[in-house]
């Protein structure tokens, strides 16, 4: 089984709808992240969480919110979806061993907002 | 601020050709450096990493050496295969303080049979 899973894998929604993307991990990591990927822009950080009680905004958090329900679960919500939120969304987890951090990614959710 | 710069793609090679994908970084201190690979329709997978100067990361025939003097971490492979076709991302991670994991924009590699 995959260590980092994302649901759904694909989603089509309409402008103004609220949607939630979910991420679960079995790696036992405290740190979790949400990124979006757009062609030619690489990955941009939306939100990150270093433990259940810690939530931080990334570089492009406007229009998004997150919930860290448990160590293993980190959800991303679009309260009112708009077409420019059409993108590929990735969840990641990381450990920080000996001061070094390595990130591990889920398979991604492809979102289309009409 | 910290940054990662990769060569623009796409890079198109014939099978068994030599591959180099350039990556340079700017950073305060000495970050860890990574290469990730994204195959079509999949998420990013860690390919290799190096945590200090002169370290060489290697995996699946790919290699990259952490060069502090040139602030570079170029990815190389001696003989590419069609199955290596993917997007490759260079990234850095700060060794102290709060979050600072920065990705390059990615380089698409296409290998022709």
**pLDDT at residue number A62:** 95
Query: Which pLDDT tens digit goes with each residue over B9-26?
Result: 899 999 999 999 999 999
CB contact under 8 A, A99 and B95: yes
CA dihedral B67, B70, B74, B77 (to 10 degrees): -70
- Alpha helices, DSSP H, located in chain B: none
Residues of chain A with pLDDT under 50: none
Which B residues in the span 24-53 are in contact with A, Cβ-Cβ below 8 Å?
Answer: 32, 34, 36, 42-46, 49, 51
pLDDT tens-digit readout, A62-94: 999 999 999 999 999 999 999 999 999 999 999
Q: Percent of chain B, pLDDT > 70?
A: 95
Query: How many CB atoms are closer than 10 A to CB B29?
Result: 10
**Contact, B35 vs B6, CB < 8 A?**
no
Of B99 and B42, more confident = B42
Residue of B nearest to A42 (CA): B105
């Amino acid at each position: 089984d995959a260590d980092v899973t994302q649901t759904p894998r694909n989603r089509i929604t309409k402008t103004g709808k609220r949607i939630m993307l979910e991420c679960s991990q079995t790696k036992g990591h405290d740190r979790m992240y949400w990124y979006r990927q757009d062609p030619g822009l690489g990955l941009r950080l939306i939100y990150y969480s270093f433990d259940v009680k810690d939530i931080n905004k990334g570089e492009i958090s406007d229009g998004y919110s997150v919930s860290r329900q448990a160590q293993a679960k980190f959800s991303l919500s679009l309260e009112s979806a708009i077409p420019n939120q059409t993108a590929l969304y990735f969840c990641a987890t990381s450990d920080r061993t000996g001061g070094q951090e390595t990130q591990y990614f889920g398979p991604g959710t492809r979102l289309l907002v009409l | 601020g910290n940054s990662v710069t990769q060569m623009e793609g796409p890079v198109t090679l014939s099978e068994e050709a030599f591959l180099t994908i350039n990556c340079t970084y700017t950073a305060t201190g000495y970050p860890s450096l990574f290469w990730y690979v994204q195959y079509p329709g999949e998420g990013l997978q860690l390919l290799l990493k190096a945590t200090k100067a002169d370290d060489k990361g290697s995996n699946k025939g790919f290699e990259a050496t952490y060069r502090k003097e040139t602030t570079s971490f170029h990815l190389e492979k001696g003989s590419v295969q069609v199955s290596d076709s993917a997007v490759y991302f260079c990234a850095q991670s700060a060794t102290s303080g709060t979050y600072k994991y920065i990705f390059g924009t990615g380089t698409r590699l296409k290998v022709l049979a």
